[in-house]
A and B are shown apart, each in its own frame.
Chain A
Amino acid sequence: MIDVRQITKSTRDGIPILKGISFTVKKGEFIGILGPSGAGKTLTMRCMNGLTKPTSGEVIFTDNENNLINLTHCKGRELKRARQKIGVIFQGFNLVKRLSAIDNVLIGQLGNMNPLRSIFYGFTDSEAAQALAVLEKMRIGHLAHRQTGSLSGGEMQRVAIARALFQNPVILLADEPIANLDPTNARKIMKLLQPLAQEMPIIGVFHQPDVIMEFCTRIIAIKDGRIVRDGDNKLTHDELVDLYGAELNEIETAQRSTPTPNETHQTPDLVIQRLSA
């Protein structure tokens, strides 16, 4: 589906950040990318969507009609066409806060639309019905007409996932999709993402080794711009120590405060809903 071949990326001052990253993503995979801060995880993801051009190397994307698209070299219309097929979920949700949730989901189809129609006419009823169906799949159909800025973090992330799904992507990239969420909401989002991997491969950057081991099928570890591990979803403590060094203590402390799935932890939006009910 997507083939990352020896990509490197340096800053303007010539400092290398990615030093030859290669991996291939196949159907049905849920890949978790792990690594200390500044290792180059997010940059790798950006190269996979063409938002950043690597200094050298290639990213080859195969769409659902088996067309090969070289994301490193394509520009203009070809790049837009490739991006339509690659769904991206961002860490900061990156939604248009003044628009309603359903409008944000509809934005997912902008790439498939004639620009003149999108500007002068907008979306059709049937497109809106489809967007609503995706929101309902994310279990937030009832919030479709709320202004996005008034939603909670967990709800916004669901809208962002709905937008990515509404694109009908061939592959889904998720850059730290649960980093801004509380542990309970984070697990809920992971549970929503997991079954989607059957339909389209998911590549996600995560900071929580326990989450990655539970939900992903393959773990890639990046350190100092290089892949130091690419394999199954079982990580040993020694591997984590090698990967994170001193940073591991902080991660483990954060994990100890993470409640287990059995603990009922009410998120503020749920509490507010119940109070108002």
Chain B
Amino acid sequence: MRPTKPPTWSYSGYRRKLTLTVWAVLAGIAFCAYWAGVSCKVNWHDLRQGIPKSIEFLGFLFPPDWSAFADMLKPAIETVLLAFLATVFGAVLSLFFGLAAASTISPVWLRSTSRFLLAAERSLPEIIMVILLVSALGLGPFPGVVAMSIGCIGMLGRLFSDAIEEINPATLESIRSVGAGHGQVIFYGVLPQVLPSLIANSIFRFEVNIRLSVLLGAVGAGGIGYQLYYNFQTLQYQRATVAILITLGLVFLSERLSSFLRKRFVPDVKL
């Protein structure tokens, strides 16, 4: 017996609609990409001509001038310290911002103020902050640390306050019900539940900060990023190659370290 057709819904009709929608969306994206390409003056001709030029340029980069390695070591350590310091400052301050911004434990005025500050910190890219701070504080790692710490607070503070809001308020109420004060509720109810996530995110942020500090170095925050920028500007390409290789090594090592630390200490937190 043939199956009776449902009166209002047909599978083939639904399927056709779905397929048409998917193709329409894909075509839309393709059109936008083409339009963006035209606006940005992307053309295949330049790309074709650019490839041999790039290969020629790679020739300038090699072989690396390893005599620069000793000079680069100190800036490389500076970059790591910069990232570490910014992560520590950022993580500690984000703890307070996170607590203040969580709707479950914080009064409205404090919550809205800290939420506003966190959003403001996130909306300002670190690179702009560094450019502004360099003009105020001068060249060197200090403006970099300040800018990255602020960026760190923006991100970690938000993640931290979200983690606090996910705690069942009834758990906190039950601690209050034994006569505990506000500080005790935070220490025994909030922190044990959210610290693993804060630790995992801070370790991940350290990895991000390493990459960021290279970039910020190029605009005046010192470290290996500045060496990279300076050697390119002074056409010492083979020295710059050493800086690139050191940067790659740092990024790779920090990624491995971050993943190892997270697996070792907070294995149950997924980022």
Contacts and interface: CB of A to CB of B under 8 A. Distances in A.
A88 B179 CA distance: 11
A115 B175 CA distance: 13
A8 interface: no
Contact of A94 (B174, B179, B180, B192): B174
Contacts of A72: none
A96 B179 contact: no
A118 interface: yes
Contacts of A163: 178
A107 B178 contact: yes
Interface in A91-141: 92, 94-99, 103, 107-113, 115, 118-119
Contacts of B188: 96, 99, 103, 107, 110, 118
Given A49-B177, A80-B179, A94 B184 contact: no
Contacts of B179: 79-84, 110-112, 167
A112 B179 CA distance: 8
B253 to A, nearest CB: 31
A110 B192 contact: no
B185 to A, nearest CB: 9
B181 interface: yes
A30 interface: no
A94 B168 contact: yes
A251 interface: no
Most chain A CB atoms below 10 A, which of B180, B181, B183: B180
Given A49-B177, A111-B178, A97 B184 contact: no
Interface string A137-152: 0000000000000000
Nearest to B174: A94
A49 B176 CA distance: 10
Contact of A118 (B168, B184, B192, B196): B184
Given A94-B173, A96-B188, A96-B189, A115 B181 contact: yes
Contacts of A109: 178
Interface string B128-142: 000000000000000
From DSSP, what is the main secondary structure of chain A's interface residues?
Answer: helix
B171 to A, nearest CB: 5
Contacts of B44: none
Chain A: interface size category: 20 to 34
B40 interface: no
A95 B178 contact: no
B181 A80 contact: yes
A83 B179 CA distance: 5
A61 interface: no
B252 to A, nearest CB: 33
Contacts of B196: 98
Given A94-B171, A94-B173, A96-B171, A119 B178 contact: no
Given A96-B189, A98-B193, A118-B187, A83 B178 contact: yes
B70 interface: no
Contacts of B168: 92, 94
Interface string B169-210: 011011111111101100111001100100000000000000
Nearest to A116: B183
Contact of B178 (A84, A96, A97, A98): A84
A99 B195 CA distance: 12
A97 B174 CA distance: 13
B197 to A, nearest CB: 10
A79 B181 CA distance: 11
Nearest to B180: A110
Contact of A110 (B170, B171, B178): B178
A112 B181 CA distance: 10
A94 B170 contact: yes
A259 B15 CA distance: 50
A103 B188 CA distance: 9
A98 B166 CA distance: 14
Contact of B192 (A49, A92, A99, A113): A99
Contacts of A167: 178-179
Which 5 interchain pairs have the tightest Cβ spacing? A111-B179, A94-B174, A83-B179, A84-B179, A110-B180
22 contacts: A51-B173, A83-B177, A83-B179, A84-B178, A86-B177, A90-B170, A92-B168, A94-B168, A98-B192, A98-B193, A99-B192, A103-B188, A107-B188, A110-B178, A110-B184, A111-B178, A112-B179, A118-B187, A118-B188, A119-B184, A163-B178, A167-B179
Interface of B: 168, 170-171, 173-181, 183-184, 187-189, 192-193, 196
Given A79-B179, A80-B181, A86-B177, 8 more contacts: A80-B180, A84-B179, A87-B178, A96-B189, A98-B196, A109-B178, A111-B178, A118-B187
